[in-house]
Amino acid sequence: MPDYAFLICYMAIELLKDVCCQDREINLFTLEQVLILSLEIAREGREGRKIGTLFVVSDSEEVLKRSRCIILDPLKGHPDNLKRIDDPNMRETIKELAQLDGAFIVSDDGVVISACRYINASSDGINLPLGFGSRHMAAASITKETSAVAVVVSESSIVRIFDDGELVSEIIPEIWMISRYSHHLKGRFTRKSSHNLTVVSKKSLKEG
């Protein structure tokens, strides 16, 4: 496993324990695996180009109700044991499918239920920074309407986490980007850096 995967486990997951709403009860192992995969996609791209994608994690029944497939679902009909987020073959499949439009829906126990989905959640009351596109709006909207957490891989290589309709964390995976990048978090935040990775996260209320 690459060094940055261990850094994500250490920095991002610990921060997210405090940042995500306390009633979410997200499976942190599943979220950890999604974050590591998201960073791999952000760093590596595919076929020599940068790509973006969206993962919606947990509360999958409600998320499925608020989304629909853009194309015939490439994951439909395959057994759950082959669709686990920590399975190497599944991870390579996701990297290929990430080149297509739409979101991945990941159950709390780590099964990638569906791919290429259009998120149909209301954007009422969602206030995102200028320049954020439809992928970020979908992430904010679905986490406002459900108990899911969303992870967006930007084509600019930034990985962003949304919870309860808000941007709660940004992960900058390349050292050269840090000096050029201004975070988009509102209010108080924490920032941790190690080697080639920086995590900026919204401060929780209990941090004071």
C-beta separation of 143 from 137 below 8 A: no
Distance (Å, rounded) from C-alpha 9 to C-alpha 38?
A: 13
From first to last of the 208 residues of the chain, give the pLDDT tens digit: 445 555 555 555 565 555 555 556 788 889 888 988 998 898 888 877 889 999 999 999 999 999 999 999 999 999 999 999 999 999 999 999 999 999 999 999 999 999 999 999 999 989 888 788 899 999 999 999 999 999 999 988 889 999 999 888 888 776 544 444 555 556 566 666 655 666 666 655 344 4
- Token reading at 60: 């999958």
Question: Residue 146 has what DSSP assignment?
Answer: S
* Cα atoms found within 13 Å of the Cα of residue 166, Cβ hemisphere only: 13
Instruction: Give residue 46's pLDDT.
Output: 82
Tens-place pLDDT, residues 146-173: 999 999 999 888 899 999 998 888 887 7
Strands (E), the chain: 53-57, 67-69, 103-106, 112-119, 149-153, 159-163, 166-172, 189-194, 197-202
Distance (Å, rounded) from C-alpha 44 to C-alpha 41?
A: 5
Instruction: Give residue 205's pLDDT.
Output: 38
Instruction: Give residue 191's pLDDT.
Output: 64
Distance (Å, rounded) from C-alpha 65 to C-alpha 46?
A: 30
- Token reading at 195: 């080697």
Domain boundaries, the chain: 3-207
C-beta separation of 63 from 120 below 8 A: no
Question: Across-strand partners of 197?
Answer: 194
Q: What architecture (CATH level 2) is domain 3-207? A: 3-Layer(aba) Sandwich (3.40)
C-beta separation of 138 from 119 below 8 A: yes
Instruction: Give residue 29's pLDDT.
Output: 85
Phi, psi of 83, rounded to the nearest 5 degrees: -115, 20
Instruction: Give residue 1's pLDDT.
Output: 44
C-beta separation of 118 from 15 below 8 A: no
